[in-house]
């Protein structure tokens, strides 16, 4: 659930950038 919220927050930035942020968050987990 936390990942989805992070993706929505980076949605306005960029599709690729928002995906990269989700990858980093998953790795940090």
Polymer length of the chain: 29
Please report the pLDDT score of residue 23 as a whole number.
75
Please report the pLDDT score of residue 16 as a whole number.
63
Per-residue pLDDT of the chain (29 residues; tens, 9 = 90+): 566 666 666 555 566 666 677 777 777 77
Give CA–CA dist 18/7, Å, rounded: 6
Please report the pLDDT score of residue 24 as a whole number.
76
Please report the pLDDT score of residue 29 as a whole number.
73
Give CA–CA dist 29/17, Å, rounded: 19
Give CA–CA dist 25/21, Å, rounded: 6
Q: Where are the domains of the chain?
A: 1-29
- What's the pTM value of the predicted model, to 2 decimals? 0.27
Please report the pLDDT score of residue 18 as a whole number.
65
């Amino acid at each position: 659930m936390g990942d989805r919220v992070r993706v929505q927050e980076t949605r306005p930035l960029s599709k690729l950038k928002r995906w990269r942020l989700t990858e980093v968050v998953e790795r940090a987990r």
